[in-house]
Amino acid sequence: MSDKNAPLKIPEKLTKPDVLIAQTKDSKDNYDFYSYRTSKIDLLSIYVEKDNFNRALIIMDMFVKLLRYRGHSFKRDINGYGPHIMIKEISFPFSIREAKKRIPPEKNSYSSTYIPTGILVLKIGESYKAQEWKDGAIKLENQLTKIVAKLEIDAEKELIRQEESRIYWLKYEEEKERKNQIKRRKDEEIQKFNKLVELSKQYNQSRLIREYIKAEYERAVDKNNLTPEKIEWIKWANDKADWLDPIINKTDDILDAE
């Protein structure tokens, strides 16, 4: 980032602060405590000792102005936390704090003591994605250009990652739907086949029944025993064979009754 018009000059005091800085300063001056989440106005997360509050404001003012100059914005997340840095729809929570040194507990005490060090730490991101920059050989004020450049690179990488993820899940869903369609077609085919097997069995059973009916008829004729009862039985048996036969599929008042 070598733009000579970029707001990179480090001011000695807070001058024409960005609205986020002005609101944060006013809230701190008037209330001495504020909630970054529940406040109705957007406030920046600044956790430093009173002596370093003004410097923290100046650093944040430079940082916010530089981000705005680069075309970026600030917005709360869906849970009301923020404002967060927004770079091409990628959100970066950020805060500044004063590093503290831990003093181990004395012999008869169980509590450690933490003392401020005057070292300011700018934290961007959260959880395992969090990154921190702090005062060192180079003051935090002089690292802002590098920090913004890094965030812009990170945002581009995240956009690429999100697009790759979107394509991956799109292909995943397409493949899942393809397999589901194959399964549905296979299930339908198996169901139709099973029905075919069932009908073929019914057809063969109906043929066997008719052969048996024929044998009973011929036996009755041979023995001169074709009585009215036998004729009635033969009619009844043929009706049942026709009911079972899937080709004829004759209705039966008793067997089809509901």
Who contacts 133 (Cβ-Cβ below 8 Å, separation ≥6)? 121, 122, 124, 140, 143, 147
Q: What angle do CA 40, 46, 47 make, to 5 degrees?
A: 125
Residue 41, pLDDT score: 80
The model scores a pTM over 0.75? no
Read off the pLDDT band of 109 (50, 70, 90): confident
CB atoms within 10 A of CB 36: 19
CA distance 241 to 252: 11
pLDDT of residue 98: 95
| Residue 106 pLDDT level (bands cut at 50, 70, 90) | confident
> Which among 154, 144, 152 is positioned nearest to 66, based on CA atoms?
144
- The neighbour count for residue 67, using CB atoms within 10 Å, is 23
| pLDDT tens track for 242-255 | 999 999 999 999 99
Helix/strand number for the chain, H first, E second: 4, 7
Report whether pLDDT(197) > 60. yes
Other residues' Cβ atoms within 10 Å of the Cβ of residue 211: 11
How confident is the model over 21-41, as a mean pLDDT? 69
